[in-house]
Amino acid sequence: MKRQYFGTDGVRGPYGSPLMNEAFAWRLGAAAARWLKTARGVPAGKVVIGRDTRASGASLSQAVADGLAHEGCSVYTLDVLPTPAVARAVRTKGAALGVVITASHNPASDNGIKFFGAAGTKLTDDEEAQIERLMPAVRLDDTVVSLEKLDGVGDYLDAAKTLLPSSLAGWKIVLDTAHGATVHTSGAALRFYGAEVFGIGAEPDGRNINAGVGSEHPEKMCEAVRLHGARLGIAHDGDGDRCILCDERGEVLDGDEILTILALHALRTGRLAAKTLVVTVQSNLGVDAAVTAAGGRVCRTQVGDRYVIERMFAEGAGFGGESSGHVICADVSPTGDGLVAALKVIEVMLATGQPLSELRRALVKFPQLSAALKVKEKKPLESLPSLPGVIRTIETELGARGRVLVRYSGTEPKLRLLVEGPTDAVVQAAMARLESATRADLELL
């Protein structure tokens, strides 16, 4: 069932645009309540709403709540809270639905809306399409409901405080919270274990979320790790469901390296369910090689952490994620959780006595290049005159020695290009040909 508004991770767009404003948020909230009644048989469901630190978050949260309440739901606010903490709160508070107002790693000028079902997992494509079909054409009333606040921080931190077997006394850790939703959670968890925490991106003002900091911009984190002689650096995105690390040398580890470290340790200790790691098509082929050599297997899905989670359930796997830094540990969290991912890596460091610079050597990456080109219009790829032919030619040339991945972003007006191959020269040449064909076929911004 085709969706009109929802993308890879909820509805997202520039605040004030036709897709992201208070009237649209009200209509989407009302539709979600109607869906609860018709598809779930919940006529007056309890709904919890959290948000990140964007200036537009409060009014959009209220608008969604008003739409939900109009259709009979009892709505509670969690205020500013990381996405994975909202997912946990859906379960611990006995809610029928969770809503997060966030645009994740996007700039402060954007915002978005995503939903979690009663199990704390993201809705399926079909469920989102059902909600779209139930949207009223206009906002039906102007009633503003009063929202009771629930504490989602306490439950979330209580769970985090059970993950490590020993103290981090003597550890120096740099933490970049992207001026976002993790500003009051990740640091508190690390300090609970006794770590000395050096904060970056910890002064949200509603306009600076992800601005030159966070998982999309790890440079300041790396510099601070070197400056303070820290054991590692941790960077989240604006809503806290991602984690990017850097080692004691100040060198970045991406999601693939984190996934490989955790999967191999779980295999060694007999804790990798079904001996399976689930990743997306975006992950480097070196992940497959490392996990397979250790006696495990790798399954791949389309891009999007909810597709990873769906495949995990289907395979009986408990662990998966994306190269972007979404890491899902199903025994702890029903969705990607940046804090859980960081603590799990620290657990491996404690168990092995090895620094990240050594642990990361388990993944030998295939040469890879990626690019994200802003496009004016997302024309169907198969309709383009040049790009499909260039892709087929490169794939034929690479054979089993590499791969090409070309797709539109599900959350931004971008065409994403990825090439892996046997050498840097081959990969660079292939990327140049893909970019040239893209520029010939599409108007770039």
State the greatest distance between any 2 C-alpha atoms of the chain, in Å, as a whole number.
62
Sequence spans of domains, the chain: 11-152, 169-251, 255-362, 368-441
How many other C-beta atoms are found inside a 10 Å radius of the C-beta of residue 117? 19
From CA 58, how far away is CA 64, in angstroms rounded?
Answer: 10
Is the fold of 169-251 the same as that of 255-362? yes
Q: 224 in helix, strand or coil?
A: helix
State the catalytic residue, choosing from 56, 104, 283, 323.
104
Q: Would residue 104 show up in a list of annotated catalytic residues for this protein?
A: yes
Q: Which CATH number fits domain 11-152: 1.10.10.10, 3.40.630.30, 3.40.50.1370, 3.40.120.10?
A: 3.40.120.10
Place of tokens 């979600």: 32
E-state strands within 134-181:
148-149, 172-176
Class of domain 255-362: alpha beta
CA dist 190 and 192 (Å) reads 5
Q: How many angstroms separate the CA atoms of 77 and 72, rounded?
A: 16
CB-based contact 414:373 (threshold 8 Å): yes
pLDDT values of the chain reduced to their tens digit, one per residue, 445 residues = 688 999 888 999 999 999 999 999 999 999 999 999 998 888 889 999 999 999 999 999 999 999 999 999 999 999 999 999 999 999 999 999 999 999 999 999 999 999 999 999 999 999 999 999 999 999 999 999 999 999 999 999 999 999 999 999 999 999 999 999 999 999 999 999 999 999 999 999 999 999 999 999 999 999 999 999 999 999 999 999 999 999 999 999 999 999 999 999 999 999 999 999 999 998 999 999 999 999 999 999 998 888 999 999 999 999 999 999 999 999 999 899 999 999 999 999 999 999 999 999 999 999 999 999 999 999 999 999 999 999 999 999 999 889 999 999 878 899 999 999 999 999 999 999 999 999 999 999 9
> Letter for the amino acid at 164?
L
Q: For 270, what's the count of Cα atoms within 13 Å in the CB-facing half-sphere?
A: 0
Fold observed for domain 368-441? TATA-Binding Protein (3.30.310)
Q: Which fold has domain 169-251?
A: Alpha-D-Glucose-1,6-Bisphosphate; Chain A, domain 3 (3.40.120)
The whole-model pTM stands at 0.90
